[in-house]
Each structure stands twice: as structure tokens, then as C-alpha cells.
């Protein structure tokens, strides 16, 4: 378990938030400007997954809340549903951590894709329950697939950058747990 001093935790999280803001601005402005307004890359999910896999601290739920609050500035999605989904997903990660080995780029891509699907099902189900209309899940799923595949493909490199921010000393060749 990684133990961070409060100063290290705040500083690492600040760098992560700056990167998230830059990527959210890119996703919210650049993609629509090139005609991809239906697609939004959800970098916040990658940040939450990284926190779930690599940042073991009692402040984990608060970190997820802050990531979702930052994300909510750039989207109409609510921070509350994202926070709930993030906490559920990171709890699932903590239960399955002994069985999950992210020791190569391919395994990282596959595991990130699986957890993105879980995230999608959770968020879409909650929104559908709130709206009382479950057609949202199917219509959104077809837009979710290309977004999630692209995020899964870049996740090993994204995690390497975040590992530098968080000062992990493990090998950067693959994302190792």
C-alpha cells in the first residue's frame, strides 16, 4: 500500500488535476471543432482508474469527488453520478486487485476497457432510472464504444505520465500493480 504524506498527496493530485483540465479542454473544444461533437473522451475515468489501481489512501473517495467536480465543469454530466460510479469501480478494483495484473500494455488496455464498460453500465443505468427511460443505454452505447477503445489504447501511456506525478517507483515499461 502506498503511503503518501499529505504534502505529497496534494502536490501529486494538483499535477493530475492540471493534466485533467488540459485534456478536458482539448476534449471539449478541439474534438467538436474538427466535427467530432458527438464524441467526448472521458479522461476523468482514466484518472479515477489510476487512483483505484495505484493510489491507496484513506482520501481516495475525496480524490474521486474532486476529479468528478473538475470534470463536471466541462460537461453536463452530474458530478454525483460520476462520483458514485467512481467509488463503486474503485471498490471493485480493491477487491479484485490480487487477481488483476497490469504487467503489460495489452493487459492494461484490456483491464481498462473492462472497467470502462462497468463504469458505462453504472452511469447509464443510474441516468436511465432517473429519467425513467432505458433507451438511453442503447443509444449512448454505440457512441461509447469508439471513445472507450481509444481511451483504452492510450491508457498505458497515460498511466506512465500519472506514475511520474505520483512518484511511483515501479517499472514504467508496463503498468505494474
pLDDT tens readout for residues 76-108: 777 788 899 999 999 999 888 777 777 789 989
Top-confidence residue, 169 or 10: 10
Mean pLDDT of the chain: 85
98: in domain: yes
Residue 99 lies in a domain: yes
125, part of any domain: yes
Residues 137 and 133: their CA atoms lie apart, in Å, by: 9
Pull the grid cell for residue 147: 471513445
Q: How far apart are CA 80 and CA 68, in angstroms?
A: 8
Q: What is the pLDDT of residue 175?
A: 46
* 161 pLDDT above the threshold of 60: yes
Q: What is the C-alpha to C-alpha distance for residues 123 and 153, in angstroms, rounded to an integer?
A: 22
Number of domains in the chain: 1
Q: What is the pTM of this model?
A: 0.87
Q: Is residue 176 part of a domain?
A: no
34-49: average pLDDT = 82
Which range of 6-10, 13-17, 102-106 scores highest in mean pLDDT? It is 13-17
User: Do residues 170 and 163 make contact, with C-beta atoms less than 8 angstroms apart?
Assistant: yes
Q: Return the number of other C-beta atoms located less than 10 Å from residue 152's C-beta.
A: 20
Amino acid 5: pLDDT: 83
Give a yes or no: residue 173 inside a domain: no
139 domain residue, yes or no:
yes
- Residue with more model confidence, 139 or 166: 166
Long-range contacts from 96-104, C-beta under 8 angstroms, 24+ separation: 97/53, 97/177, 100/53, 100/177, 101/176, 101/177, 102/53, 102/174, 102/175, 102/176, 102/177, 103/174, 103/175, 103/176, 103/177, 104/174
Q: What is the mean pLDDT of residues 20-26?
A: 90
Between 8 and 176, residue with greater pLDDT: 8
d(CA 23, CA 168): 22
- pLDDT for 174 beyond 60: no
**Does residue 103 fall inside a structural domain?**
yes
- pLDDT at residue number 38: 65
What's the confidence (pLDDT) of residue 141? Answer: 85
Mean pLDDT of 56-70: 92
**61 vs 100, residue with greater confidence:** 61
Q: pLDDT above 90 covers what percent of the chain?
A: 45
Which three cell numbers, joined as nine digits, stand for 82? 460520476
Task: Provide the domain limits for residue 55.
Answer: 6-165
* Helix, strand or coil, per DSSP, at residue 169: coil
Residue 170 lies in a domain: no
Amino acid at each position: 500500500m502506498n503511503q503518501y504524506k499529505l504534502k505529497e498527496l496534494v502536490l501529486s493530485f494538483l499535477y493530475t488535476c492540471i493534466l485533467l483540465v488540459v485534456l478536458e479542454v482539448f476534449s471539449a473544444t478541439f474534438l467538436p471543432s474538427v466535427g467530432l461533437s458527438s464524441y467526448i473522451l472521458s479522461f476523468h475515468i482514466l484518472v479515477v482508474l489510476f487512483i483505484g489501481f495505484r493510489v491507496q489512501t484513506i482520501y481516495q473517495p475525496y480524490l474521486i469527488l474532486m476529479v468528478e467536480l473538475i470534470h463536471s465543469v466541462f460537461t453536463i454530466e452530474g458530478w454525483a453520478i460520476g462520483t458514485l460510479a467512481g467509488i463503486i469501480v474503485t471498490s471493485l478494483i480493491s477487491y479484485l486487485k490480487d487477481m488483476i495484473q497490469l504487467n503489460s500494455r495489452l493487459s492494461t488496455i484490456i483491464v481498462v476497457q473492462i472497467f470502462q464498460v462497468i463504469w458505462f453500465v453504472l452511469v447509464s443505468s443510474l441516468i436511465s432510472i432517473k429519467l425513467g427511460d432505458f433507451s438511453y443505454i442503447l443509444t449512448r452505447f454505440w457512441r461509447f464504444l469508439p471513445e472507450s477503445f481509444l481511451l483504452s489504447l492510450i491508457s498505458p501511456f497515460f498511466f506512465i505520465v500519472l506514475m511520474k506525478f505520483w512518484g511511483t517507483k515501479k517499472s514504467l515499461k508496463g503498468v505494474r500493480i
